[in-house]
Structure 1
Amino acid sequence: MTPPLAAIDLDFVPLGRTGIRTSELQFGTWRFGKENESGEVEIGEERAHELLDAYESAGGRYIDTADVYGSGASEEWIGDWLADRDRERYTIASKIYWQIRDGDPNSRGTNRKNVRHRVDALLDRLDTDYVDVLYIHRWDDDTPTRELMKTLNGLVESGKVHYLGASTMRPNAWKVARANAIADAQGWEPFTVLQPRYNLVDREVEGDYLEFARQRNLAVSPWSPLGQGFLTGKYDRDEDLPADSKVASSSRFQESYLTAENFDVHDELDAVADEVDASPAQVALAWLTHRDGVTAPIVGARTVDQLAENLAAATIDLSDEQVDRLTAAKPGPYEGL
């Protein structure tokens, strides 16, 4: 049974070497203002504020967004919500990269012109003087690394940004390492927070990526901790997908998640969930928090009930034996080599 939100008290954990502390489960707002294929908004402003209220009531203080979420609506709604609160009590992270103006190639990537404009715009939407963490949403090979790090360092020195992060860099940890080497040599701010995809069935970051983060004491805040819903138990290996479902038309999702190997992982997940009287989603999140090098997974939800279920993962106590069983259910990319 999921405890009420008021009974959940999220702990604070160190955000890598930044010196600040983050909620052990961060709140992701990628669905705020997002339109589905029918043109309907998945989460409107009223529900967005209800979800933020719920996260706050559970002790959550780390809110993750991006300037393209809801075409900026996510940041605007977070800013409106923060207006009645003490801004200093919350850690706000946002991301920049994706093209925002049709026909304008300079509105994409991490060139200096785009970065400076995007940061000023997102601060205006959030109605704040600074963001705690600014992520580059993807790596931009067209912008020289030295130019990128010099530009980002200028934002830190101006007070508009406190710390720098890199999102979705799982195959390219070497690029972050090179960027940080340049920053260190120049006395500039390095990347200190990483945001890869990582969950029970997406294990590609194990090995070099997590080892690099551990050695440099970089924070790791995984996104998609529930495998795009696969690890919640909503799919069954013996049932056909509804013909009108989005997943039924997505060969990429089916090939990535609806495999015999992944369903075998889910069988072990279900077994552990039964043992600890929790949902598969809660156990999948709890497993991730037990992984060496992981700082705080990013969770999201469409409803307050879903959010309460996800946040209750912080109350799940897995034994070492259970963690080992879940880990062994699918070998990591470097095991057996």
Structure 2
Amino acid sequence: MEQRHLGRTGLRVSRIGLGTLTWGRDTDERDAADLLKVFWEAGGTLVDTADVYGDGEAEYLLGQLMEGLVPRRDLVIATKAGSVPDPDRRFDGSRGHLLAALDASLSRLGTDYVDLWQVHAFDPETPLEETLGALDIAVSSGRARYAGVSNFCGWQLAKAATWQLAAPGVRTRLSSTQMEYSLLQRGVEREVLPAALDLGVGLLPSSPLGRGVLTGKYRHSTPADSRGASEHLAPFVAPYLDDAASRIVDAVATAADGLATTPLQVALAWVRDRPGVVAPIIGARTAQQLTEALSVEALSLPDEICQALDDVSAPVHRYPDQDWSTL
């Protein structure tokens, strides 16, 4: 699999990443082992997790598999910290919480470092420089090799990345930002992506298949074994089952028919090759699904197909994005 640099750093990752959101909850050890083995054998390196996935079970399961299935040196392990299961405070970006969470992640993963450590979300109750200081400590102590953020809006990303470049002392450059990005969710194109491109921060798209909807599986009904039929994941899928999404899915299916491929591969190739994108994160349920996704390595969409998909899915950006003189 092709390798890409993560932002303006020397770290290289596979241009498709493996997500572990459901590991330890909906994905058991056997299925997780199958997924990791298929991914590794295809040349995949980037595995994305978080301390809250499965209440820590995703990290623990990944650590167990690295012991006996895939060598640690062959993987780029990315994890996140900052989300908390507290109804009064969803995110905690304080130095104390983040560094304690990192130590707990390392223990579950069974490793003394992670390749990429990311702040899971912006915490408005903690000074940003304190949050970023935790990234500096993690990297300088060797517990993390690179640092990034996740779910930061445009101004938050720009402020954080600029602070790390401009503040005095030894600071850790932000190498990545992880955000939802697909043909069904192009909001990052408004401010996040321009900021990332300007500041040398690589984009790691989550849910690149529109939470599974872009595979076409929901075009006529909701399969009983799908996440859309799952009690705890149905609300996650539901926002992308409206008429606007249906028109985009139909266009993807039409493109797939014309290219003799699948809607999954068309949708994934589109986001993989967008400017600024480093590696979409795929959260496959089965090894068969992952194998289909990884086969996109050989697919490049023709320019006319990309343009048609751009047109049908184009978000509405008005003031201040368009030329004010035309308003």
What TM-score results when the alignment is normalised by the length of structure 2? 0.89
Shift of 1:207: 2.8
Q: Which residue of 1 aligns with 2:325?
A: none
SS at match of 2:137: helix
User: C-alpha separation between the residues in 2 aligned to 1:295 and 1:301?
Assistant: 19
Asked if 1:25 is matched to 2:6, the reply is: no
Q: Which residue of 2 aligns with 1:186?
A: 168
- Runs (5+) with no aligned partner, structure 1: 1-9, 35-41
**Correspondence list, 1:130-209, <5 A:** 130-169=113-152, 172-184=153-165, 185-187=167-169, 188-209=171-192
SS at match of 1:221: strand
Q: Which residue of 2 aligns with 1:6?
A: none
Q: Aligned match of 1:112 in 95, 107, 119?
A: 95
In structure 2, relative to structure 1, the CA distance for the partners of 1:221 and 1:144 (3 Å cut) is: same
The percentage of counterpart residues that share the same residue type is 35
Cα pair 1:207 1:333 within 8 Å, conserved: no
User: C-alpha separation between the residues in 2 aligned to 1:152 and 1:116?
Assistant: 9
Alpha carbon RMSD of aligned pairs, Å?
Answer: 2.5
In structure 2, relative to structure 1, the CA distance for the partners of 1:204 and 1:246 (3 Å cut) is: same
Asked if 1:93 is matched to 2:74, the reply is: no
In structure 2, relative to structure 1, the CA distance for the partners of 1:186 and 1:106 (3 Å cut) is: farther
Q: Which amino acid aligns with 2:155?
A: W
Q: Which amino acid aligns with 2:39?
A: Y
SS at match of 1:18: coil
Deviations 1:28-63 (A, max 9, x none): 0111012xxxxxxx2111211111011111111111
In structure 2, relative to structure 1, the CA distance for the partners of 1:248 and 1:95 (3 Å cut) is: closer
- Runs (5+) with no aligned partner, structure 2: 323-327
Q: Which residue of 2 aligns with 1:39?
A: none
Segments of 4+ moved more than 6 angstroms: none
Cα pair 1:24 1:296 within 8 Å, conserved: yes
User: C-alpha separation between the residues in 2 aligned to 1:240 and 1:308?
Assistant: 22
What TM-score results when the alignment is normalised by the length of structure 1? 0.86
User: C-alpha separation between the residues in 2 aligned to 1:143 and 1:62?
Assistant: 30
Asked if 1:50 is matched to 2:41, the reply is: no
In structure 2, relative to structure 1, the CA distance for the partners of 1:247 and 1:182 (3 Å cut) is: same
SS at match of 1:227: coil
SS at match of 1:22: strand
User: C-alpha separation between the residues in 2 aligned to 1:234 and 1:96?
Assistant: 32
Asked if 1:11 is matched to 2:2, the reply is: yes
In structure 2, relative to structure 1, the CA distance for the partners of 1:86 and 1:249 (3 Å cut) is: closer
Cα pair 2:118 2:148 within 8 Å, conserved: yes
Cα pair 2:193 2:276 within 8 Å, conserved: yes
User: C-alpha separation between the residues in 1 aligned to 2:237 and 2:71?
Assistant: 41
SS at match of 1:186: coil
In structure 2, relative to structure 1, the CA distance for the partners of 1:283 and 1:249 (3 Å cut) is: closer
Deviations 1:264-307 (A, max 9, x none): 11121111101111111111000111211111100121111011
In structure 2, relative to structure 1, the CA distance for the partners of 1:47 and 1:276 (3 Å cut) is: same
User: C-alpha separation between the residues in 1 aligned to 2:236 and 2:115?
Assistant: 34
Shift of 1:225: 0.6
Deviations 1:45-98 (A, max 9, x none): 121111101111111111100111111111111112212444222100001112
